[in-house]
Structure 1
């Protein structure tokens, strides 16, 4: 890769990293401040705090691995195993919490008269807790499977106790990451997709009802449906893009294509950073806080007094 492309790629990676940390950090900070002031936190805000925290961790893990690929440093098997487990934890909770958020939007916004839907709607908090607790066996199976496969692959690669992260260990890490995502992401991704499709069906029924009653389409229920759909479809598309970027990065690493690898890294970072930005824009409280911060920042840069409201 040429020096110009290298500088551009580093700039884009750092921009994605900054965007991800700022957007997720804002979610955590605002909700924690409200938690301290009001001494209570709504279920959706609790999900957002945990989701943003897992994504901040995930972003820094991606950056750490990328830095390791650019350095000449070495890493022991134990150190690589710890990093692998940390990535599994952050990726697992990031995916399952986003899925829980999709289920939460569906049950809070959709209007169905089905008995099973009403039963789950009345027990929404318990359902969300149950979904997250139900994900723990998947996490345990993922960690056990990764540990077993890791030891098997290490012996296949020669059983070195200290090897170059750029070659053997990076290849092993990419293979295990892709394998785990393919095997353990099907259930949460399917649940999020089903929630999205049901929300579309609910919106379609709602619009039909509005037409029969000769009412407009700009009612609060329609806005709530469309807002939730934007958040859910952005999650589905960005996660699918994240998975494809990992797949292409694995192929690029095998053929030593640094440019393609960097482009995949930039694309992969869009998932934990851009989706959190969409969450902020779709949440009136977080959106108002972000606009207020941007206004104060603009006034500070211009040297003006910050208006008090």
Structure 2
């Protein structure tokens, strides 16, 4: 039974890896082509492009961790390798979460129709809001890396002493759990902001949809259909984002109890968000959707 579950998780993980690289790679390619042709991208397009790049890195890192968990039990690394692995994971994961959060806030400010003075103040100053969020994101990333670097220095200082193999493995395991806990705490901020912005956007879209249905022919009206699709996209993003955040706790618990099967499940579940949401972004963006359908049409003609 255990072996069968591992095989199932492995198949799903490989599928998510391929799908995630294709969907994020498509977004990067389309935005790069626009950048070459138009010489500039809108703020939303820039954020989506950076988000896709960071997600490709996250997908590769999660898959590498899955592969290591499946095929290797324990391995020791040098201090430089610890820094490279840890900081790469922190940076890519941080950017992936924060740029998704910034994107959700921008959609809220551009789409929602609240009449509160505070909301209108932010809505009229979208560029300043975006700049502040980017600066705040950078400050939190630096603080996170400084905090983790202190733990790395302490770990390296203890590893250079004459200790046994089991002692070194124990210290690496504790360090890994500390990093996971720190990442969870620092991820609470973007998750909370994304949660609030998505819930507000869902409320706004739902209210607007109810008003439109009273004055239109139900779901047949194009505007009603557009708002219904937008509502589905926002809800899908929220569920995927919450699922990814949940993997932080599952990962920490599985590491504490050294449960290999739970860690594999965590990696499989963690890949669902960066792989699937990028495809949802493609379907939700008219330009990307048209380009995607054109590619599919050309592939069918080629077959």
Query: TM-score normalised by the shorter chain: which range applies?
Result: 0.7 to 0.9
Contact kept, 8 Å, 1:100 with 1:131, in 2: the verdict is yes
Q: CA deviation at 1:5?
A: 4.7
Q: Flag the structure with higher helix content.
A: 2
- Give the equivalent residue in structure 1 for 2:37: 37
C-alpha spacing 1:13/1:60, structure 2 compared with 1 (3 Å) = same
TM-score (norm: length of structure 2): 0.85
Q: CA deviation at 1:14?
A: 1.4
- Give the equivalent residue in structure 1 for 2:270: 268
Bigger drift between 4-13 and 141-150 goes to: 4-13
- Secondary structure, aligned partner of 1:185: helix
Q: CA deviation at 1:243?
A: 2.8
Contact kept, 8 Å, 1:84 with 1:173, in 2: the verdict is no
Bigger drift between 7-16 and 246-255 goes to: 246-255
- Give the equivalent residue in structure 1 for 2:291: 289
Contact kept, 8 Å, 2:202 with 2:234, in 1: the verdict is no
Give, in whole Å, the separation in 2 of the partners of 1:158 and 1:247. Answer: 31
Q: CA deviation at 1:12?
A: 1.9
Contact kept, 8 Å, 1:77 with 1:162, in 2: the verdict is no
Contact kept, 8 Å, 1:100 with 1:128, in 2: the verdict is yes
Give, in whole Å, the separation in 2 of the partners of 1:160 and 1:34. Answer: 57
- Give the equivalent residue in structure 2 for 1:241: 243
Alignment coverage as a number of residue pairs = 299
- Give the equivalent residue in structure 2 for 1:198: 200
Contact kept, 8 Å, 2:17 with 2:275, in 1: the verdict is yes
Kindly indicate whether residue 187 of structure 2 is the aligned counterpart of residue 185 of structure 1.
Answer: yes
- Give the equivalent residue in structure 2 for 1:60: 60
Q: Which of residues 138, 151, 158 in structure 1 aligns to 2:140?
A: 138
C-alpha spacing 1:179/1:252, structure 2 compared with 1 (3 Å) = closer
Bigger drift between 1-10 and 196-205 goes to: 1-10
- Secondary structure, aligned partner of 1:269: helix
Kindly indicate whether residue 46 of structure 2 is the aligned counterpart of residue 46 of structure 1.
Answer: yes
What does the per-residue CA deviation read over 1:76-106, in whole Å, with 9 as the maximum and x for residues that have no partner? 1321122111111111111111111111111
Structure 2 residue ranges without an equivalent (≥5)? none
Q: CA deviation at 1:205?
A: 3.7
Contact kept, 8 Å, 1:75 with 1:162, in 2: the verdict is no
- Give the equivalent residue in structure 2 for 1:305: none
C-alpha spacing 1:264/1:38, structure 2 compared with 1 (3 Å) = same
Give, in whole Å, the separation in 2 of the partners of 1:161 and 1:142. Answer: 29
Q: CA deviation at 1:141?
A: 1.3
Contact kept, 8 Å, 2:54 with 2:95, in 1: the verdict is yes
What is the RMSD of the two structures over their aligned residues, measured on CA atoms? 3.0
TM-score (norm: length of structure 1): 0.84
Mapping 1:65-84, distance limit 5 Å: 65-69=65-69, 70-71=71-72, 73-84=75-86
Mapping 1:84-99, distance limit 5 Å: 84-99=86-101
Structure 1 residue ranges without an equivalent (≥5)? 303-309
Bigger drift between 24-33 and 193-202 goes to: 193-202
- Secondary structure, aligned partner of 2:84: helix
- Give the equivalent residue in structure 2 for 1:307: none
Contact kept, 8 Å, 1:252 with 1:260, in 2: the verdict is yes
Q: CA deviation at 1:128?
A: 1.2
